[in-house]
Structure 1
Amino acid sequence: MRCLCSLLLLVGLALSGCTDGPGAIRPGQVAVSSTATEIDYLTEVQPILSRRCVACHSGYSAPCQIDLGSFAGLERGGSPRTVLDRRRLAAIEPARIMVDARTAEGWQKKGFAPIIDGETEAGADGTILGQLLTRRPHGSAAAGVESPATDGNACPLGAGEMATFLAAHPEHRMPPGLPPVTAEEQRVIVAWLAAGARGPGPEELARLTAIPARDLSSVGNWEDFLNRQDPKHVMTSRYIYEHIFAAQISFASGTGALYELIRSRTAPGEPVVPVPTLLPYDDPGGLFFYRFRRIYADAGASASVVFNLGGEQLKRVHDLFIRPEWLMPPHRVGYAPRFAANPFSTFEQIPPEARYRFLLDNALPILQSCFEGPSASAAAALDVLDDQFWVMFLSPEYDLSVRLPGFLMNDEGLLGVQRSARPVGETVPLDSIRQLRRETVVFARQRSRLYDIFFRYQGRGYEKIWRGNRAEDAPLLTVLRHAATASVHKGGLGDLPKTMWVLDYPLLERIYATMVAGYSPYGSAERRMAARVRMDGLRQEAETQFLDFLPQAQRRDSLQYWYGGMDLQELEASPSSLPARIQFATDDAKREFVEYLVHHHFLVDTGIDFDGNYLEDGEQYPDLLPEYRNIDDVLQGLRAAAAPETSYFTAGDDRQDSLAYIRINGTERGDAVVSLVLHRWHDDVTVLRQYQRLNPSRNRVGFFAGFIGAAPNHFYTVDADELPAFVELLRAYQTTPEADERLAKYRVDGGDERFWEIYDWFQQRFAEDGGDRVGAIDLGSYARPAI
Structure 2
Amino acid sequence: MRRVASLILVVLLAACTTVALQRFDELYGPADPTRFDHPLAPPPGESYAQTVQPILDRRCVVCHACYDGPCQLKATAWEGLARGASKTPVYDASRLLAAQPTRLFVDAQQPSEWRDLGFFPVLNEHTPTPEVNRTAGLMHRLLMLKERHPLPTRGTVGGGLDFSIDRAAMCPAGAEIDDYERKAPLGGMPFGLPGLSPSELGVLTRWIERGAPFEGAPALPPLARQGIAMWERFLNGDSLKERLFSRYAYEHLFLAHLYFDDDPQRQYFKMVRSATPPGEPVQLIGSRRPVDAPGVERVYYRLVPERETIVAKTHMPYALGAARMARWRSLFLDAPYTVDRLPGYSADTAANPFSTFAALPVNARYRFMLDEAEFTIMGFIKGPVCRGQMALDVIEDRFWVTFLAPSEGNDQAQADLLAQDANLLRLPTGRSTEEVVTPWLHYARLENEYLRAKSAFLARSLGSPQNLDLRLLWDGDGRNDNAALTVFRHFDSASVVKGLVGEAPKTAWVIGYPLLERIHYLLVADYDVFGNVGHQLNSRLYMDFLRMEGEFNFLVLLPQAQRIATRDLWYRADSQATREQVYGGPSTTLALDSGIRYQSADARLELLGMIKARLAPVLDRGFELDRAPPDWRAPLQELGAVRGASLQWLPEDAALVVEAPGGAPATFSLLRDTGHASVSHLLGERKELRPDENALTLVPGVIGAYPNVFLRASPAQLPAMAEAIRGLKSEADYAAFAERFAVRRTNPGFWTVSDGLVERYRRDQPLQAGVLDLNRYENR
Identify the TM-score tier after normalising by the shorter chain. Answer: 0.7 to 0.9
- 2:593 and 2:733 map into 1 onto residues whose CA distance is 57
Is contact 2:150-2:194 (8 Å) kept? no
Matched, 1:80 2:74: no
Aligned partner of 1:282 among 287, 292, 302: 292
Is contact 1:83-1:521 (8 Å) kept? yes
The verdict on how the C-alpha distance between 1:535 and 1:402 changes in structure 2, with shifts beyond 3 A counting, is farther
Matched, 1:685 2:696: no
Which residue in 1 is equivalent to 2:493? Answer: 485
Q: Deviations over 1:524-545 (max 9, x none)?
A: 2211111101111100111011
**What's the offset of the Cα at 1:384?**
0.4
Matched, 1:772 2:780: no
Secondary structure in structure 2 of the residue aligned to 1:670? coil
The verdict on how the C-alpha distance between 1:136 and 1:586 changes in structure 2, with shifts beyond 3 A counting, is closer
Is contact 1:493-1:613 (8 Å) kept? no
The verdict on how the C-alpha distance between 1:336 and 1:723 changes in structure 2, with shifts beyond 3 A counting, is closer
The residue correspondences of 1:482-561 to structure 2 (distance < 5 A) are 482-561=490-569
Q: Deviations over 1:170-223 (max 9, x none)?
A: 4523223211111232232223222222222xxx4243xx1x333344322211
Structure 1 stretch displaced more, 336-345 or 745-754: 336-345
The verdict on how the C-alpha distance between 1:58 and 1:570 changes in structure 2, with shifts beyond 3 A counting, is closer
- 2:167 and 2:718 map into 1 onto residues whose CA distance is 45
Is contact 2:428-2:439 (8 Å) kept? no
Is contact 1:119-1:127 (8 Å) kept? no
State the AA in 1 paired with 2:157. V
**What's the offset of the Cα at 1:612?**
5.0
- 2:93 and 2:68 map into 1 onto residues whose CA distance is 11
Structure 1 stretch displaced more, 513-522 or 148-157: 148-157
Is contact 1:65-1:82 (8 Å) kept? yes
Aligned partner of 1:111 among 118, 127, 145: 118
Is contact 1:79-1:157 (8 Å) kept? no
State the AA in 1 paired with 2:758. Q
The residue correspondences of 1:270-669 to structure 2 (distance < 5 A) are 270-286=280-296, 287-326=298-337, 328-375=338-385, 377-397=387-407, 400=410, 402-418=412-428, 436-458=443-465, 460-469=468-477, 471-571=479-579, 572-574=581-583, 575-599=589-613, 601-602=614-615, 604=617, 606-608=618-620, 612=624, 631-643=629-641, 648-649=646-647, 652=648, 655-666=649-660
State the AA in 1 paired with 2:651. D
Which residue in 2 is equivalent to 1:67? Answer: 74
**What's the offset of the Cα at 1:723?**
3.2
Structure 1 stretch displaced more, 54-63 or 497-506: 54-63
- 1:528 and 1:351 map into 2 onto residues whose CA distance is 31
**What's the offset of the Cα at 1:136?**
7.0
Is contact 1:65-1:79 (8 Å) kept? yes
Q: Deviations over 1:367-401 (max 9, x none)?
A: 11122223363353011011001111111228855
Matched, 1:706 2:711: no
The verdict on how the C-alpha distance between 1:730 and 1:154 changes in structure 2, with shifts beyond 3 A counting, is closer
Q: Deviations over 1:535-578 (max 9, x none)?
A: 11100111011101111111111111101253332443324222
Secondary structure in structure 2 of the residue aligned to 1:324? coil
Bigger proportion of residues as helix: 2
The verdict on how the C-alpha distance between 1:474 and 1:307 changes in structure 2, with shifts beyond 3 A counting, is same
**What's the offset of the Cα at 1:79?**
1.3
Aligned partner of 1:148 among 122, 137, 162: 162
Aligned partner of 2:710 among 715, 722, 725: 715
Secondary structure in structure 2 of the residue aligned to 1:500? strand
Matched, 1:99 2:134: no
- 2:163 and 2:436 map into 1 onto residues whose CA distance is 24
Is contact 1:341-1:416 (8 Å) kept? yes
Matched, 1:232 2:229: no
| Alignment length (residue pairs) | 723
- 2:94 and 2:652 map into 1 onto residues whose CA distance is 23
Is contact 2:429-2:522 (8 Å) kept? no
State the AA in 2 paired with 1:641. L
Is contact 2:381-2:495 (8 Å) kept? yes
The verdict on how the C-alpha distance between 1:779 and 1:399 changes in structure 2, with shifts beyond 3 A counting, is farther
- 1:778 and 1:152 map into 2 onto residues whose CA distance is 16
**What's the offset of the Cα at 1:97?**
1.6
Aligned partner of 1:762 among 757, 760, 778: 757
Secondary structure in structure 2 of the residue aligned to 1:374? coil
Structure 1 stretch displaced more, 190-199 or 157-166: 157-166
**What's the offset of the Cα at 1:164?**
2.7
Q: Deviations over 1:478-509 (max 9, x none)?
A: 00011221111111001111111011110100
Which residue in 1 is equivalent to 2:176? Answer: 161
Aligned partner of 1:180 among 174, 195, 216: 195
Is contact 1:677-1:703 (8 Å) kept? yes
Structure 1 stretch displaced more, 731-740 or 67-76: 731-740
Secondary structure in structure 1 of the residue aligned to 2:599? coil
Matched, 1:247 2:256: yes
Structure 1 stretch displaced more, 151-160 or 674-683: 151-160
Unaligned 5+ residue runs, structure 1? 1-6, 8-20, 23-35, 615-628
- 2:147 and 2:702 map into 1 onto residues whose CA distance is 39
Is contact 1:483-1:658 (8 Å) kept? yes
Which residue in 2 is equivalent to 1:214? Answer: 223
Is contact 1:467-1:603 (8 Å) kept? no
**What's the offset of the Cα at 1:98?**
1.6
State the AA in 1 paired with 2:537. M
Q: Deviations over 1:279-314 (max 9, x none)?
A: 112111213321111113214212211112225111
- 2:66 and 2:422 map into 1 onto residues whose CA distance is 34
- 1:685 and 1:193 map into 2 onto residues whose CA distance is 49
Structure 1 stretch displaced more, 336-345 or 48-57: 336-345
Question: TM-score normalized by structure 1?
Answer: 0.85
State the AA in 1 paired with 2:207. W
Is contact 2:240-2:339 (8 Å) kept? no
Unaligned 5+ residue runs, structure 2? 1-12, 14-26, 29-41, 584-588
Structure 1 stretch displaced more, 468-477 or 150-159: 150-159
Q: Deviations over 1:249-291 (max 9, x none)?
A: 1222222201101112222233322111111121112133211
Secondary structure in structure 2 of the residue aligned to 1:708? coil
Secondary structure in structure 1 of the residue aligned to 2:217? helix
**What's the offset of the Cα at 1:405?**
1.3
The verdict on how the C-alpha distance between 1:518 and 1:131 changes in structure 2, with shifts beyond 3 A counting, is same
**What's the offset of the Cα at 1:637?**
1.4
Secondary structure in structure 1 of the residue aligned to 2:423? helix
Secondary structure in structure 2 of the residue aligned to 1:375? coil
Q: Deviations over 1:81-129 (max 9, x none)?
A: 2324556665321122222111111111111111113212423112222
Secondary structure in structure 2 of the residue aligned to 1:674? strand
State the AA in 1 paired with 2:635. G
- 1:93 and 1:374 map into 2 onto residues whose CA distance is 15
- 1:329 and 1:188 map into 2 onto residues whose CA distance is 58
Secondary structure in structure 2 of the residue aligned to 1:370? helix
The verdict on how the C-alpha distance between 1:157 and 1:206 changes in structure 2, with shifts beyond 3 A counting, is same
The verdict on how the C-alpha distance between 1:723 and 1:690 changes in structure 2, with shifts beyond 3 A counting, is closer
**What's the offset of the Cα at 1:738?**
6.5
Question: TM-score normalized by structure 2?
Answer: 0.86
The verdict on how the C-alpha distance between 1:734 and 1:335 changes in structure 2, with shifts beyond 3 A counting, is closer
